[in-house]
Structure 1
Amino acid sequence: MMVPGLDFMLVTRLAVMKGRAVALQATLGIATGVAAWGIAGFFGIRTLFIAAPWLYLTLKIGGGLYLITIGAKLLINSWKKEATADATTPHAEQRSNSFFAGLLTNLANPKAPIFTSSLFAASMPQHAPIYLGLACVASMFMIAIAWFACVAMLLSLDRVSAIFLKNRRWIDRCAGITFMGLGVRFVTERTPA
């Protein structure tokens, strides 16, 4: 969880640009995605991807295209004058959208199912009871909530966010390029046979 990646970048940006409540909603979306991958990992997504490699390829390309789209929007908007849409969007709508942004960002990462299924394959006994797998998934969910909530709380502090807000355009540009770069990588990366 602590390795900076797409989820970390999303929470960081939202905490600084939109505030604590919006970043915490994204945190809940990310943790929901983590739980979904955890459940899928426990119940054998790795086996499914081996049996039907086109499913992994579909996830990888779809996730990559989603990240390219998000990155392009960030990059394009970073060159515009200060957006007024943020001021006119109701806070409830921003929080709702940030939940789905967190969820989709996590689900769009094709490395997540491979990592999760590998984690279960390496650490769980062969015939693990369902309650043990679900306990692991609950732990993953809680760790995601705890980590990203800490990130959201720290980065939404006035002193910290003031530094980031001064550099908003550059943050958006870096985030946009990173999202697009990872998206292109996911779409073009060769799938191991």
Structure 2
Amino acid sequence: MNLISELSVVATVSAFWLVAMIVPGLDFLLVTRLAVMRGKAAALRATFGVAVGVGIWGLAGFFGVRTLFIAAPWLYMLLKIVGGLYLFLTGFRLFMSSWQKKTAQSGHTELVSGTTRAFRAGLLTNLANPKAPVFVSGLFAAALPQHASVQLGLTCVAAMFVIAMAWFALVATLLSLESVSRIFMSFQKWIDRCAGLAFMALGLRFVTERSPG
């Protein structure tokens, strides 16, 4: 492939991935909540975690994880069950904590611990979604030529990483503004409850689904 063709492939992958990032999902929900409740620093750390997860799934997708799932369906089922349980437990803890009264001291402790754990939360939330490798594999199968070079594949993965970082960093910056967070803080309990229910619902869906699609 010549340079123009490779750039066209990267642009196609980037365009589809940008749309995938903009559509609200669990990553968006996590970064949004952290930006509003914990501030810009925590949200940006979670953003980096999400982007690292994107990079991992991008590499897995390029090197044929879908083929592996077809050859060993139990691996896909294991990923769905483990990921689903993680999401359900995360949502359950979030939902239950929304009913508890928080003192100023406990709020400060939660803020500190939430900031230090934000990267891990972003990474695990992204990796816990078993649909991600299937989507990425499908995207690469459609956009990349049959014998794409490793260099081209890595360039596409790098573009996906940058797009995830840029989009969620923008979300984190805008929603951490005091004027915006002040509004959201007045609905903190309901935001936590809705976020918790969303995580639990998707977690249950992953655990109970049995098709590898």
TM-score band by shorter chain is: over 0.9
Name the residue aligned to 2:145.
Answer: 125
| Unaligned 5+ runs, structure 1 | none
What are the equivalent positions in structure 2 for 1:90-109 lying under 5 Å apart?
A: 91=112, 93-109=113-129
Question: Per the alignment, do residues 149 and 9 of structure 1 end up closer, same or farther by CA in structure 2, a change over 3 Å counting?
Answer: same
Q: Which moved more, 1:157-166 or 1:75-84?
A: 75-84
Of 56, 75, 80 in structure 2, the residue corresponding to residue 60 of structure 1 is: 80
SS class of match (1:191): coil
Alignment correspondent of 2:198: 178
| CA–CA distance in structure 2, aligned partners of residues 78 and 95 of structure 1 | 18
Q: Name structure 2 gaps, 5 residues minimum.
A: 1-20
RMSD value, Cα: 1.3
Deviation by residue 1:18-53 (Cα, 9 ceiling, x = unmatched): 000000000000000000000000000011001000
Normalised to the residue count of structure 1, the TM-score between the two structures is 0.96
TM-score normalised by L of structure 2: 0.87
Contact residue 73 and residue 212 of structure 2 kept, 8 A: no
Q: Give the SS at the match of 2:22.
A: coil
**Shift >6 Å, 4+ stretches:** none
Q: Share of identical aligned residues, percent?
A: 64
Equivalent position to 2:108, from 81, 84, 87: 87
| Alpha-carbon distance in 2 for matches of 1:136, 1:180 | 32
Does residue 15 (structure 1) correspond to residue 29 (structure 2)? The answer is no
Residue matched to 2:163: 143
- Deviation at 1:13? 0.3
What is the aligned length? 192
**How far has the Cα of 1:96 moved from its partner?**
3.1
